[in-house]
């Protein structure tokens, strides 16, 4: 469908209305975005600019647009909201929070008839992000679900520590990424967010209450669509989120009192926080006037204890638990090579060139879209462990990598992005009505065609049908129901 162009409306080479040159607000402009058909409502964009990737439910028109090899998320939204969200996402990134990266706000759009169009907020597509609808699919193991809940709780606590009140926590507004055996959660929708110096307990409870209501609704929708494992109950899932949040918050910020004979508890607190992945930047230590009672309270804690250390040593930018795993491997390497006395950064460099890089460069380029490098390395280490057990001797890394590529990586769906995997299900039997807008549902009915159940995370090696899971859409199922 081509939009009728007004008499003086500028057209692009393909005849699409481009409108007057719109205004770009951007800290890091990508010039390739400028010639796109901004004079056309996002919902009517020609498919040559779009990619079909899974995404959550949204009130606004959201599309993934592709320029060169870069994919962006584009959301059509009123001007003040677009600018507010752009700035907030910018602040969150600056503060080191896991959130999508804002790229631009395109405003001043006018259609062929001279009617103004809402601005578009552009964010960089978060590669390797997993949509929650495939993560909570039937058959997913209970502890996988608990890890997903933990990832959400950590994200919420991190945001609250920074004084960010989200105001719209929901499963659709969170993206998950693999993080070794766990997940890392990212914020994707900051529209309703507010950044304060510090949140009051009331503000935090309010946010948690919103999370509770929204996520309960999300789980009920999944349940109604037959997408939630029967062993999982929406109410107890949200209660778990709440109780884990309180536990984590107490550990991160709580006051602890003990007698002067228990000074080791200062060290223990710091270690516990490190084990949770946090560094203590300021610990307030107070002694009672008689010197008998000590109280400690962390005042500033920063997430990313392990990932910062790995970054400092090797320059690798990874998720927290991936970093933990890689650092353990680095320690093993140091012991095996008898480098205990060598400088840590020298050993790290040696590990990088003798262990990490050979594994990553042995991955065929066409398979590199399936996992990010740190996750590949983590999975190769797991694979090697099983291989060594099987063969009753330590398997060399290179051999394990070959086996991993052959047995695991080859069979996995592409997580970076893949039109084919995501647009069609069951080799093309079930097609989305509009692959660029999954909320419209499927051409034919999926009912009664649940297919085999797999847990892609615990059973990674055993042929996953995630393509199927990734295009299921709660909205569509709800409508059909």
Ligand X SMILES: Nc1ncnc2c1ncn2[C@@H]1O[C@H](COP(=O)(O)OP(=O)(O)OP(=O)(O)O)[C@@H](O)[C@H]1O
- The residues that touch Mg ion, with contacts defined as CB under 5 A, are 58, 172-173, 189
Provide, rounded to whole angstroms, the least separation between the CB of residue 124 and ligand X: 6
Of the candidates 474, 364, 471, 461, the one whose C-alpha atom is nearest the C-alpha of residue 420 is: 471
Q: Which is nearer to ligand X, 125 or 204 (CB)?
A: 125
Alpha helix stretches (DSSP H) within 367-444: 373-391, 397-407, 419-423
Q: Which of 40, 99, 107, 123 is close enough to bind ligand X by CB under 6 A? A: 123
HSE-CB at 394 with a 13 A cutoff on CA atoms is 4
Q: Which is nearer to ligand X, 208 or 348 (CB)?
A: 208
Q: Which is nearer to ligand X, 107 or 173 (CB)?
A: 173
Q: Are 33 and 43 in contact (CB under 8 A)?
A: no
DSSP per-residue letters across 128-153: T-B-HHHHT-TT--HHHHHHHHHHHH
Of the candidates 53, 87, 38, the one whose C-alpha atom is nearest the C-alpha of residue 191 is: 87
Separation in Å, CA 300 to CA 193, 303, 312: 22, 10, 21
Q: Which of 129, 153, 165, 228 is close enough to bind ligand X by CB under 6 A? A: 129
Q: How many residues in the shown chain lie near ligand X by CB under 6 A?
A: 22
Q: What is the distance between the alpha carbons of residues 39 and 393, in angstroms, rounded to a whole number?
A: 64
Q: Which is nearer to ligand X, 72 or 351 (CB)?
A: 72
Site string for ligand X, 334-373 (x = CB under 6 A): ----------------------------------------
* Strands 109-110 and 256-259, bridge-based pairing: unpaired
The reply to whether 125 sits near ligand X by the rule CB under 6 A is yes
Residue 298 binding target from ligand X, Mg ion, none, CB below 5 to 8 Å by type: none
The reply to whether 119 sits near ligand X by the rule CB under 6 A is no
Provide, rounded to whole angstroms, the least separation between the CB of residue 135 and ligand X: 12
Q: Which of 37, 39, 73, 413 is close enough to bind ligand X by CB under 6 A? A: 73
Q: Which of 111, 118, 150, 189 is close enough to bind ligand X by CB under 6 A? A: 189
Q: Which of 97, 107, 137, 172 is close enough to bind ligand X by CB under 6 A? A: 172
Residue 22 binding target from ligand X, Mg ion, none, CB below 5 to 8 Å by type: none
Q: Which is nearer to ligand X, 238 or 248 (CB)?
A: 238
The reply to whether 133 sits near ligand X by the rule CB under 6 A is no
Provide, rounded to whole angstroms, the least separation between the CB of residue 192 and Mg ion: 9
The reply to whether 75 sits near ligand X by the rule CB under 6 A is yes
**Residue written as token pair 């996750």:** 375
Residue 59 binding target from ligand X, Mg ion, none, CB below 5 to 8 Å by type: ligand X
Lookup: tokens for 343: 């400088």
Provide, rounded to whole angstroms, the least separation between the CB of residue 103 and ligand X: 9
* Strands 61-67 and 109-110, bridge-based pairing: unpaired
The reply to whether 78 sits near ligand X by the rule CB under 6 A is no
Provide, rounded to whole angstroms, the least separation between the CB of residue 365 and ligand X: 23
Residue 100 binding target from Mg ion, ligand X, none, CB below 5 to 8 Å by type: ligand X
The reply to whether 126 sits near ligand X by the rule CB under 6 A is yes
The reply to whether 62 sits near ligand X by the rule CB under 6 A is yes
Q: Which is nearer to ligand X, 301 or 417 (CB)?
A: 417
Angle at 258 between CA 252 and CA 261, to 5 degrees: 130
Angle at 150 between CA 477 and CA 177, to 5 degrees: 65
The reply to whether 55 sits near ligand X by the rule CB under 6 A is yes
Lookup: tokens for 380: 């190769």
Element (H, E) at 282: strand 278-287
Q: Which of residues 223-242 bind ligand X (CB under 6 A)?
A: none
Q: How far is CA 95 from the centre of its chain?
A: 17
Lookup: tokens for 296: 């400690």
Provide, rounded to whole angstroms, the least separation between the CB of residue 77 and Mg ion: 10
Q: Rg for the chain (alpha carbons), in Å?
A: 25
Provide, rounded to whole angstroms, the least separation between the CB of residue 395 and ligand X: 37
Q: What is the distance between the alpha carbons of residues 76 and 99, in angstroms, rounded to a whole number?
A: 19
The reply to whether 148 sits near ligand X by the rule CB under 6 A is no
* CB contact set of 278 (below 8 Å; sequence gap of 6+): 252, 301, 302, 303, 304, 305
Angle at 25 between CA 24 and CA 30, to 5 degrees: 65
Q: What is the distance between the alpha carbons of residues 184 and 151, in angstroms, rounded to a whole number?
A: 5
Closest residue to ligand X, judged by C-beta, is 56
Q: Which is nearer to ligand X, 185 or 352 (CB)?
A: 185
Alpha helix stretches (DSSP H) within 225-284: 234-253, 264-275
Binding site for ligand X (CB under 6 A): 55-56, 58-60, 62, 73, 75, 100, 123-126, 129, 131, 168, 172-173, 175, 188-189, 191
């Amino acid at each position: 469908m081509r939009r009728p162009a007004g008499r003086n409306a500028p057209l692009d080479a393909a005849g699409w209305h481009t409108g007057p040159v719109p205004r770009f607000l951007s800290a890091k402009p990508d010039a390739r975005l400028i010639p796109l058909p901004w004079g056309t409502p996002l919902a009517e964009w020609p498919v040559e600019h779009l990619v079909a990737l899974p995404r959550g439910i949204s009130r606004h028109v959201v599309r993934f647009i592709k320029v060169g090899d870069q994919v962006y998320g584009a959301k059509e939204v009123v001007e003040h909201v677009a600018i507010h969200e752009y700035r907030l996402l910018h602040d969150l990134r600056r503060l080191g929070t896991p959130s999508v990266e804002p790229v631009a706000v395109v405003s001043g759009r006018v259609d062929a008839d001279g009617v103004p169009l809402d601005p578009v907020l552009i964010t960089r597509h978060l590669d390797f992000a997993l949509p929650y609808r495939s993560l909570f699919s039937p058959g997913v193991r209970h502890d996988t679900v608990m890890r997903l809940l933990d990832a959400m709780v950590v994200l919420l606590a991190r945001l609250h520590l920074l004084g960010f009140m989200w105001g719209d926590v929901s499963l659709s507004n969170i993206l998950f990424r693999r993080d070794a055996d766990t997940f890392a959660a990212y914020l994707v929708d900051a529209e309703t967010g507010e950044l304060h110096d510090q949140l009051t307990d009331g503000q935090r409870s309010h946010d948690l209450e919103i999370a509770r209501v929204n996520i309960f609704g999300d789980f009920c929708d999944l349940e109604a669509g037959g997408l939630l494992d029967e062993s999982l109950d929406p109410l107890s899932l949200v209660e778990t989120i709440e109780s884990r949040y309180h536990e984590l918050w107490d550990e991160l910020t709580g006051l602890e009192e003990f007698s002067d004979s228990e000074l080791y508890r200062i060290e223990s607190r710091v270690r516990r926080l490190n084990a949770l992945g946090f560094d203590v930047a300021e610990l307030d230590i107070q002694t009672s006037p008689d010197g008998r009672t000590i109280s400690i309270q962390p005042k500033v804690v920063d997430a990313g204890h392990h990932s910062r250390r790995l970054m400092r040593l090797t320059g690798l930018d990874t998720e927290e638990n991936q970093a933990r795993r890689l650092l353990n491997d680095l320690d093993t390497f140091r012991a095996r090579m008898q480098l205990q006395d060598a400088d840590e950064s020298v050993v790290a460099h040696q590990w990088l060139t003798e262990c990490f890089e050979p594994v990553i460069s042995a991955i065929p380029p066409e398979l590199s879209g399936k996992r990010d490098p740190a996750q590949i390395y983590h999975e190769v280490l797991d694979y090697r462990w099983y291989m060594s057990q099987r063969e009753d001797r330590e398997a060399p890394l290179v051999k394990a990598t070959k086996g991993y590529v052959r047995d695991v990586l080859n069979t996995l769906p592409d997580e970076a992005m893949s039109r084919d995997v995501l647009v069609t299900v069951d080799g093309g039997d079930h097609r989305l009505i509009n692959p660029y807008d999954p909320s419209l549902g499927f051409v034919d009915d999926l009912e009664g065609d649940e297919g085999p159940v797999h847990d892609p995370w615990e059973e990674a090696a055993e042929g996953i049908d995630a393509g199927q899971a990734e295009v299921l859409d709660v909205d569509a199922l709800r409508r059909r129901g």
